[in-house]
Amino acid sequence: MDQIKFLAGRANWIRGSALAEVMKKAAELRAQGRHLISLSAGDPDPNLIPREALGELAGEILQEIPQSVMYTPANGIPELREELSSFLKKYEGYTTDPSEIIITVGGTGAIDLLGRVLLDPGDVVITENPSYINSLLAFEQLGAKVVGIPVDGEGMKVEMLEEKLRELENRGEKVKFIYTIPTGQNPLGITMSLERRKALLDVAKEHDLLIVEDSAYNFMRYEGEARPLKALDDEGRVIVVGTFSKIMGTGFRVGWLIAGNVIGKKVLMEKSPIDFCAPTISQYIALEYLRRGYFEEYHLKRALPGYRKKRDAMLNALKDNLPDAEFTRPIAGMFIMLFLPEGADGMAFATELMQETGVVVVPGKPFYTDGSGENALRLNFSRPEEEEILEGIERLAAFYRRKF
């Protein structure tokens, strides 16, 4: 039967991730019994997450709160919105009324909903180049055009943003918002400087654009300062996307969106027929996680030093084994971007590396908005064990030196 004729026109914009091939290959090798060292994850470390404490919470909640297995309000359970409002005030430095917070199915749910409410086909979204592949796909699947702005060690190059905005405006393009991951950027691992943050807000004001601040890694910062854009915003121009994924685990599927009244109302109406509510049991677990001080006790005191140690292990291994190579030095997040020599094919490198050495890395190219980034590789240091990091980088470096 020919199914194609049943597809919506919109389905033409659904193209899937270019990373699927590499991940499929890894799954095949694993199925053949091959032991792989994965530096390709997008997850935190399950051993740095207090699984036992969370298990106890889950047991208690399931037994004592009948509502925990039921539908709850589309914008989230009120207790969690209240607790989160205090949490954001304490750790992010801005005030948000609990009524402004919408609890979503992860940060992913928040980004998708925003796109649905804000974007018409043909609208332009500005991002960093490169940016988080899932967000790029979400915007493109709605028919939006993504325009990436180059990044240096201080984050998005705001001067180039201004130039690009003028060019787009002269062409009559409709730019809706600037999507940025200012802290611990995925995939680069770069954190935007305070000066750049202020400059970005100024440009958004001058061109009357919204900023969507993806704060996925704001709570995975190992050193330095990183004031949220939202805390610098005095006119309600910044929309916040947040998540418990990198703190509590990516499987809980609890995130949040702070979008302001008009947009928030539309988001909420759009949300109900899509997911009814974010997983209720996960919302109660997140609530108790905050209420009982687990964020301080487990995340700040134990998990963060563990991630910092793994980051240092990977940075040192890269420095020792590939002293001439170029790579980013993150102060936050879960990733380091490694650049192969100019002109190298990162896709081919990643595939051969996996086959020959059993080390899995993610090619950077699919994260770039303009087809560049051929020589980039994204390395994850949060998920693998320290020994795997050392062994993985050694094998990668040996392979690299054979190639170049």
Q: How crowded is residue 75: how many other Cβ atoms within 10 Å of its Cβ?
A: 23
Binding mask 215-244 for ligand PLP (x = CB under 6 A): -x--------------------------x-
Compare residues 299 and 322 and give the one whose CB is closer to ligand PLP: 299
Binding-site member from 61, 161, 181, 278 for ligand PLP (CB under 6 A):
181
Strands (E), 215-261: 238-243, 255-258
CA distances to 285, 323, 339, 344, 360 from 375, in Å: 42, 17, 6, 5, 16
**Total binding residues toward ligand PLP, as defined by CB under 6 A:** 12
Q: Is 108 in the site for ligand PLP (CB under 6 A)?
A: yes
Q: Is 214 in the site for ligand PLP (CB under 6 A)?
A: yes
Q: Is 187 in the site for ligand PLP (CB under 6 A)?
A: no
Q: Is 92 in the site for ligand PLP (CB under 6 A)?
A: no
Amino acid at position 188, single letter: L
* CA–CA gap between residue 196 and residue 76 (Å, rounded): 33
Token readout for 202 is: 């100024």
| Total residues belonging to the chain | 404
| Residue whose CB is nearest to ligand PLP in the complex, by number | 106
Compare residues 251 and 341 and give the one whose CB is closer to ligand PLP: 251
Q: Is 132 in the site for ligand PLP (CB under 6 A)?
A: yes
Helix ranges restricted to H, 93-235: 106-118, 133-141, 158-170, 194-206, 229-232
Compare residues 108 and 191 and give the one whose CB is closer to ligand PLP: 108
* CA–CA gap between residue 112 and residue 179 (Å, rounded): 12
Residue with tokens 């909640």: 61
* CA–CA gap between residue 302 and residue 258 (Å, rounded): 29
Q: Is 255 in the site for ligand PLP (CB under 6 A)?
A: yes
Q: Is 107 in the site for ligand PLP (CB under 6 A)?
A: yes
3-state secondary structure (DSSP) of residue 354: helix
Compare residues 61 and 212 and give the one whose CB is closer to ligand PLP: 212
* Nearest-approach distance from CB 104 to ligand PLP, in angstroms: 8
Binding-site member from 40, 245, 280, 375 for ligand PLP (CB under 6 A):
245
Under 8 Å between Cβ of 328 and 380: no
Given the rule CB under 6 A, which of 101-109, 117-125, 339-347, 382-390 is the region that contacts ligand PLP? 101-109
Under 8 Å between Cβ of 289 and 61: no
Compare residues 105 and 199 and give the one whose CB is closer to ligand PLP: 105
* Nearest-approach distance from CB 220 to ligand PLP, in angstroms: 10
Pairing verdict, β 155-156 and 376-380: unpaired
DSSP for 321-365, written as a single string? H-TT-EE---SBSSEEEEEPSTT--HHHHHHHHHHHH-EE-EESG
Q: Is 193 in the site for ligand PLP (CB under 6 A)?
A: no
Token readout for 180 is: 């940025």
Q: Is 183 in the site for ligand PLP (CB under 6 A)?
A: no
Binding-site member from 186, 191, 369, 375 for ligand PLP (CB under 6 A):
186
Footprint of ligand PLP (CB under 6 A): 106-108, 132, 181, 186, 214, 216, 243, 245, 250, 255
